[in-house]
Amino acid sequence: MSSRVPAFADTFADRKVEVDRLRAALADAADGRPSVVVVEGPPGLGRTALAGCADAIAAEAGIRVVQATGAASETDTPLGVAAQLMAPLLPPDSPQWNDLDPGAGPAELDRLIRVFLATTRQQPLLAIVDDAQWTDADSVRWLQGVARRMTGTRLVLLLTVRSGFTFAIPVTHRVRLVPLEPEAVRAALAREFPGGVGELFEQEVVTATRGNPAVLRAVLGRLGAQRVPPTDESVPELLDAVAEATSDLVSGTIDGLPSELLLLLRAIAISGGILDFDLICTVTGLHAWSAPRARALLHTAGLIVGEDRPQLAEWVSADRLLAGMPVAQRESMHAHAARLGHLSAAPDTGVAAILLGTRTIGEPWAVDVLRRAAAWHSLAGDAASAVKLLARATRETGDSLAHAKVLLELGEIELLESPEAADRHLSQVVVADGGPEIGPLRVRAADLLYARGAGMLVRRSTADAYRGHKADQESTDQLVALHWLAEDDVAMPISLDGPARLDEWPDNPAQAGVVAWRLACAGRDIERCKWLARKALGAYGPVGPQTMAAWALAVADELEEAEAGLRTVLGDLRLPADRVLAAFIWTCGADLASRRFDREAAERALATALELLPLERWHRRVSPSLVAAQVLMCLGRGELDTAQRIARDHPAPTGLPDGMMWPHLLYAHGQLRLAVGDHEEAAAMMLECGRQLQARQADNPALLSWRAPAVIALRALGRTGPAENLLAAELRLAEAWGVPSVVARVEQLRKD
C-alpha cells in the first residue's frame, strides 16, 4: 500500500464521516488515548484508500506511520505481518530479529510486543495492516497481544478487512464502508464531465457501478482515455467499461490466491452449487490445505457464498475464471464433477449444466440426465436451454435407438426455436439406421414435419426409409400414408422406386385417411370418402392423416362428426411436445367453424393455432393458407384496411408456386380485389387460383369455391359467357360431389 495518498474525502464526499472518525482517533492517540480501528467492507469500496487517507492525516500531524499488507499467498509465513510492522522500528543489527524466526514461542512474542509498544510511549504511532484478513496465525497472536497491552500508549492500530471477517481483538472504532450514494456518484460524474451527461448515461453509471468507488474510478478513467462522450448513445461503451473494471477487481483478488485455492475456486464455479464442499475438494484433490481452512479463506476473500454447497459470489464471473484453464484440465474437472453430482443424486438440471462443459464421457447415465433436464427446461418454457442439453446428448448416444430418441426430442423443441434445424433433425430420425424398434419414432418425426408444412422433406425422407426397409409393417404403412399425404403435386413423383400408390380401399387406417382426403379434394365418390375418413378416425395413428380425414368429413358436410373427430385427436396430444400437431389441428378447426358460419369460433381457432406456432415458424409452403384465413376473416368483419395491410405484407404469388396452399392466398387476394371493386384483377386472380387447384386435382367446389367470386367479377365486367360456363362447371362438380348445401349455393348464384 502506497503512503501519502490524497485524502479519500477530497474525492468522494460520502466518506467525510469515516475520515472524521480517523482524524479523531489520531487526535486521541496524540493525547494518550490509544485505539483499535477496524475498517471493513467488500472489495472496491475503498478500504485501502481510507487507510491511505489515515496515513496522509498522520503525516500532516507529525505522527509516525508503520504499515503492513496481508496477502493470501503469505498466510503460512510466520510473523510475516508483524515483521513488516517492526521493520521500520528495529535497527538491522537488532537481536530482536531473531525473535521473528519461524517457530517463535510465547517468550519471543512477548519481547516483540514490548519492543513495539515501547516506541508508542515516546511518540504517537499509526500502525496500519491492510487486508488484515490474510494475516498469518503468529502475527494474529502478536496483534492480539499488542491490543491487550496498549493502555498507556499513543498507538492507533488500524486494520482493514473484508466484510464478514472478525478478529478476536477488542475494537474501539468499527468503520463499515457501504457503496456510494447515488448523489455521490452523480457528483463524481459532474466533476469528471463538467459539461453535463446524458440522463440515461447517468442512470446507467449509478446502476451498473453499484456505488463501488474502485469500479467507478476505473470506468471514468477508461471512458476518459478512450474519449467516450457521456451521452446516452455511449451506454454500450459504458457497460463494457464496467464489465472490464469489475473483472479487473476480481482478478486482483484471485491473482493473489495460492494455486491450489485457485483450482478449488474453479471447481466451485464448475459445480454450480450442486455439490457439497467435501465433494468439491474431491474434484480438485486438495492436498496442501485442510477443507475448513480453504473454505474460510475463500469466504474471507469474498469469492464464495454459502456453506454446505458453496457458489461463486455474484461479482465473480465463472466464464472468466474458467477461461484461464487448460482445456483438457477444465473438461476433466467438469466430467469428474458431473459424475459426483450424479452419484450424489444432485438435481438433473445441475448435473446436466456441468455436462455442457465436457466432451463425450461415454457413460449411459449422461444421456438420461441430459434428456430429463431438457424436459424440465422445456416444461418451464426455456426452450433454448433444452435445445443446448439435447444437442449435447447427441454426442453421448451409444446406440441407434437412443440417438433417434434424442434427435426426436431435439426436433420437437427446435420446431419453436429454429424450425430449419428441426427439419434437419427430424428427417434424420425418419431415415435413421436401426431396426423396427425405431419405426414409431420415424412415424412421429414425419408427422411433425408434415404438420409444420415441410411436405417435400416428408416425401424424400419417407421414400428413403421405405426403400431401406427400415421400419416394422405398421410403421411402414403409416410412413407410406404420410408420404402420399405430403405429395400435393401428383405431376411431380418423388422417385421411381418409392412407395406404391395407395389402394382405393386401404386396410391401414392412416392410409384410409389419406385416400379420404384425396377424394374430398377431387370431389369424387363422397360415400367412399366418408367411410374411409371414419375408418381413419376410428383408430389411433399419426395426427396428419387423422386431421385430414376429419377435414374430409367437413368437406362432405358432416360437420358434427368432423368436429368430434378433431376433439378426439386433439385430446390425445401432450403439450408442449405436441404444440405443432395441436396448431395444425386448430387450423382445420378454423375452417370447420367457418363452414358452420361461426365467425367468432373460427377466429378463436386460428388465433389458438398461431399462438401455439407463430406464423414465422410455419413452413413457407403452408403459411400462405394462414395468411389467407386472416385476410378473409378481416373481410368478414368489415375491416377492409386491416385486410389490405395483411395482403400488402404477403403479396399474391405468380406462376405455379411451390405448395398446395398458395391458391388459398390467391383466393383471398381475389376476394379483397372484389371487395374494393377491382373486378378485372379479382377475376384474373380467381381464374389463376382455379388453374392451380385443377393442376393439383383439388377442384371440389365444396373445398374452395373459386368459381363463385370469379362469376361475380366476370358479370360485373359484362363477360356473361365465361361466367355462365364457370357456373355450369361449378354445378356439374357440385352435383357429382353430392352435398346438397353446395348444390343449393350454386343454384342460388345462377338465379342472382
* Residues 190 and 331 both lie in one domain: no
* Residues 267 and 292 both lie in one domain: yes
* Residues 189 and 329 both lie in one domain: no
Look at residues 662, 658, 661, 681 and name the one whose alpha carbon lies nearest to residue 671: 681
pLDDT tens-digit series, residues 581-615 = 999 999 999 999 999 999 999 999 999 999 999 99
From residue 84, give the alpha-carbon distance in Å to each of 53, 66, 67, 68. Answer: 20, 8, 7, 5
Residue 313, pLDDT score: 87
Cβ(714)–Cβ(723) below 8 Å: yes
Determine the 3-state secondary structure of 288 from DSSP: coil
Look at residues 68, 202, 196 and name the one whose alpha carbon lies nearest to residue 136: 68
* Residues 593 and 702 both lie in one domain: no
Successive 10-residue mean pLDDT values, the chain, 752 residues: 39 72 92 93 86 92 93 83 89 69 72 89 93 88 92 94 81 89 89 90 92 89 90 92 86 80 93 94 85 84 86 86 90 95 95 94 93 94 94 89 94 93 96 88 96 92 85 90 78 56 94 97 96 96 97 96 96 91 97 94 96 93 91 94 91 61 90 95 95 90 95 94 94 94 90 78
HEC assignment per residue over 336-386: HHHHHHHHCCCCHHHHHHHHCCCCCCCCHHHHHHHHHHHHHHHHCCCHHHH
Cβ(261)–Cβ(72) below 8 Å: yes
Structural domain includes residue 1: no
Distance CA 534, CA 529 (A): 9
Distance CA 267, CA 273 (A): 10
CB neighbour list of residue 731: distance below 8 Å, 6 or more residues apart: 743, 746, 747, 750
Determine the 3-state secondary structure of 571 from DSSP: helix
616 burial (CB, 10 Å; 0-12 / 13-18 / 19+) is: exposed
Straight-line distance from the first to the last Cα atom of the chain, in angstroms, rounded to the nearest whole number = 99
Structural domain includes residue 18: yes
From residue 482, give the alpha-carbon distance in Å to each of 116, 451, 607. Answer: 92, 10, 26
Residue 520, pLDDT score: 96
Structural domain includes residue 612: yes
Distance CA 417, CA 414 (A): 5
Residue 8, pLDDT score: 37
Determine the 3-state secondary structure of 155 from DSSP: strand
* Residues 228 and 376 both lie in one domain: no
Q: How many CB atoms lie within 10 A of CB 572?
A: 11
* Residues 507 and 494 both lie in one domain: no
Residue 12, pLDDT score: 45
Indicate which CATH number applies to the domain containing 67.
3.40.50.300
What are the beta bridge partners of residue 35? 156
Distance CA 733, CA 566 (A): 27
Structural domain includes residue 289: yes
* Residues 601 and 703 both lie in one domain: no
Residue 497, pLDDT score: 59
Indicate which CATH number applies to the domain containing 379.
1.25.40
**Parent domain of 488:** 360-501
Looking at residue 247, its amino acid is: S
* Residues 158 and 43 both lie in one domain: yes
Structural domain includes residue 682: yes
pTM over 0.85: no
The residue among 149, 176, 203 that closes a domain is: 176
Q: In sequence order, which ranges of 196-276 are alpha helices (DSSP H)?
A: 199-209, 213-225, 235-254, 259-271
Distance CA 312, CA 299 (A): 10
From residue 71, give the alpha-carbon distance in Å to each of 135, 246, 256, 301, 577. Answer: 7, 20, 7, 10, 55
* Residues 534 and 667 both lie in one domain: no
C-alpha cell at 174: 468499527
Structural domain includes residue 627: no
C-alpha cell at 599: 365467425
* Residues 282 and 430 both lie in one domain: no
Residue 134, pLDDT score: 85
Distance CA 352, CA 342 (A): 9
Determine the 3-state secondary structure of 68 from DSSP: strand
Query: How many domains, the chain?
Result: 6
* Residues 14 and 147 both lie in one domain: yes
Structural domain includes residue 352: no
Structural domain includes residue 414: yes
The residue among 284, 317, 344 that closes a domain is: 344
* DSSP conformation class of 168: S
* Residues 147 and 267 both lie in one domain: no
The residue among 297, 315, 344 that closes a domain is: 344
Report phi then psi at 362, rounded to 5: 70, 30
Residue 162, pLDDT score: 83
Residue 491, pLDDT score: 41
Q: How many CB atoms lie within 10 A of CB 205?
A: 28
